[in-house]
Every structure is written in structure tokens, then in C-alpha cells.
Amino acid sequence: MGFRMGIVGLPNVGKSTLFNALTQTAAAQAANYPFCTIEPNVGDVAVPDERLDTLAAIGKSAQVIPTRLTFVDIAGLVRGASRGEGLGNQFLANIREVDAIAHVVRCFEDEDVTHVEGKIDPVADIETIETELMLADLDSLERRVTGLEKKAKGGDKEAKESLDLCNRALVLLRDGKPARLVQVTAEERRAFDMLQLLTAKPVLYVCNVEEASADAGNDFSARVFARAKEEGAQAVVVSAKIESEIAVLPEAEQAEYLEAVGLAEPGLNRVIRAGYKLLGLLTYFTVGPKEARAWTIANGTRAPQAAGVIHTDFEKGFIRAETIAYDDYVSLEGEAGAREAGKMRLEGKEYVVRDGDVMHFRFAP
């Protein structure tokens, strides 16, 4: 399991260029005019994790299988999208299907690349997109409230809960605030998610900067980071131009190129780490002679549910999980060494999986 991240933004901010680079494909047409992406493009990328290669070497695994991250390139939104302007309705519907939003914001000046609003102002761009999403959420909630009120008066408990959540979200939206600021309990989370509110999605701001600012950012990106901090969002700096150049290089030449431009790693790594943090995800591993494999789960997942990510039968028939911490597996040179040193633990159904755990599940067929 990975997660689906929708790439959104105004036209001509570098969305499709970034998508092409991240997925190393030319599937999305990058062009200097609005609406060059007519259908959402979907691309899977391997999640880079040096720990997996280390484990595979120790375990002498024949295959190395990373976990995957899905990017969905959603065409540029414009002012009025919530009323169907541009290709608004289609794209708003596409956003509902992703786990999180990567909001690409233009943080560079270039006279050869037009800006749909006529000026470079990343915070104003953010507000334009956010406003359209809030207006769409407002319309969605206001249309369903009447029906919920009728059901609630008839004693429908689920309708009462949904109505309460709708009203709490409406208070914020009418005040110009996104629905992700609604305070919900663990018991209410499922019902709240069922509302499918666009502004309830976690947001990662991707500051697309010029090449010279790819490491530390610039004044434009600093304003975006300040905005992200205020609202509890995540932000990263990326140069889509550099990423697109890295993407076409042979793997052996990529490190040399990164060093030449003063970067320690590709921007993709930053995006993935920020996305994992945003969604509260972690990685555990399975290691054997056939394969070393990474698996993505939500923070707080118990062992049986983690096993279920591999196969539902593993969860249904779960007996125990043989577990070794990553550092112990490496320092003791594998499963046998960890077992001899007493570092292999037998964990039961209540065990909460930790990031980096190397696990082997025992189950009854």
C-alpha cells in the first residue's frame, strides 16, 4: 500500500513538468498554455529507501521490491472552477479520489512562461485554489443538509451525526477556513471522511523554484513555508526543471549531476518524505532469499492489519509476528544473528508496528 497524491495548481506553474519528472514518463503534456492536461494522468513511482537495499544485501535477496507512491496529475484549476469555469467540475471530482493534495506553487520568475493571473504571487495563488475548493465544499454541504435534517428528525442516528459534522464544517467554510480544521474524534473520523470534502484533504505545498534556488529556496518559497506553518501543512522546495533533467539521465549519472547542482538528493525524495509525514505513514519490511520488500502502513497500525496489507489471509489467520528492529537486523547481520542475540521478538495481535521493523508473519491457513 502506498498513497495517492493529486498534483494540483494553477495553469503554467510546472505541474505537468514535475509529474513527468517524478514518474519518469512523458505521459503528461507539458506546454505553455492552460488546460494542456485534459485527463488526469496517473503514474506510480518507487519510494526510495536506502534501508531496503541494505536489508536485501544482508538477506541475499534475489529481488528488491520497494513500496509504491501514486501521483495523479490533475489539470490546472482557475478562478471560477467551483462554478464549472475552465474544466472545473471534472477536476474537482478527480481531487475527491486522492488521499492528499500536492499543491504546486510557482515560485520563480520567467518572462517566457505566462502566468494565468498576470503576476507572481504564490500566496495569492494558494488562496485562489483554496477558495475554489471551499466554494465547491460549501455547495456540496448546503445541498445535502436539507435531506439530512429530514432524516435526523425521523430519528436516524447516522443522519444526526452527519448533519452535526456538516454544520461544523459549514461554520468554518463560511468563515473562509478549510474543512480540515474541523475537530473530529476518532469515532467521528469515518463519518467525516464519508463527506468527501475537498478542503479536508491534507495539503503539501510544492514550491517550484528556479534552478539556483533548488536547495534553500527563495523569497517566494519562504512566504509559502510561512503559510504552511500557520495552517499545519507541509511544504517542500523543488525545481521541476532540475527534476526533469535528472529523470532522463542514466541512474549511474544522476548522483554526479546532483552533486554538480549542489543537491544531496532528488526533489522526489523530499516530496515523498513530506507526504509520508503529512499522512502519518511508515514503512516495515519483509526479507528473505526470494525478495526484500517494503510495505507502507498508517502510523498506529497493529500487527494483524499490517499483515493484511500483504494478504487478507495473513490478517484473518494471524498468530504472531516475528519482529526485528531495523538497527538490530543490520548490526547483527541478519535474522540468525538477531535470533541468537535475543533481538527477535514474538509480537501478538496488539503489537503496534514501528517504522523499520523487519517482520515475518505466522498465520493459520
In this structure, is the dihedral angle defined by the CA atoms of residues 242, 243, 246 and 248, taken in order, positive or negative?
Answer: negative
Strongest mean pLDDT among 170-184, 221-235, 319-333 = 319-333
Looking at residue 89, its pLDDT comes to 55
What is the pTM assigned to this prediction?
Answer: 0.81
Assigned fold of 300-363: Ubiquitin-like (UB roll) (3.10.20)
- Comparing CA positions, the residue from 279, 280, 284, 209 lying closest to residue 6 is 279
Size of the chain, expressed as the number of residues it contains: 365
Ranges in the chain annotated CATH 3.40.50.300: 4-278
Q: Which residues of 277-299 are buried (b: 16+ CB within 10 A; e: fewer)?
A: ebbebbbbbbbeeeebbbbbbee
Q: What does the block give as the cell for 260?
A: 554538480
Looking at residue 32, its pLDDT comes to 39
Q: Sheet containing 68-73: which strands, arranged edge to edge?
A: 41-46, 68-73, 4-8, 100-106, 203-208, 234-238
Residue 11 or 148, more confident:
148
Residue 216 or 48, more confident:
216
Q: Coil, strand, or helix at residue 237? A: strand
Could you tell me the CA-to-CA distances from 333 to 97, 136, 329, 341 in Å, in that order?
A: 42, 54, 6, 11
Residue 30 has pLDDT above 50, yes or no: no
Residue 25 has pLDDT above 50, yes or no: no
pLDDT tens string 249-284: 887 898 899 999 999 988 888 888 888 888 889 999
CATH architecture of the domain formed by 4-278: 3-Layer(aba) Sandwich (3.40)
CA angle 159, 161, 166 (to 5 degrees): 90
Looking at residue 289, its pLDDT comes to 96
Residue 39 identity (one-letter amino acid):
E
The full DSSP string for 315-355 is HHTEEEEEEE-HHHHHHTTSHHHHHHTT--EEE-TTPBP-T
Helices (H), 13-49: 15-23
| Interatomic CA distance for residues 90 and 74, integer angstroms | 10
Mean pLDDT score of the chain, rounded to an integer?
86
| Interatomic CA distance for residues 204 and 322, integer angstroms | 35
Ranges in the chain annotated CATH 3.10.20.30: 300-363
pLDDT tens string 79-103: 554 455 444 455 677 788 888 999 9
Looking at residue 268, its pLDDT comes to 80
Enumerate helices (H) and strands (E) in the chain, giving the number of each. 14, 12
Looking at residue 90, its pLDDT comes to 59
* Residue with the three cell numbers 485527463: 39
Residue 27 has pLDDT above 60, yes or no: no
pLDDT tens string 202-212: 999 999 999 99
Residue 33 has pLDDT above 70, yes or no: no
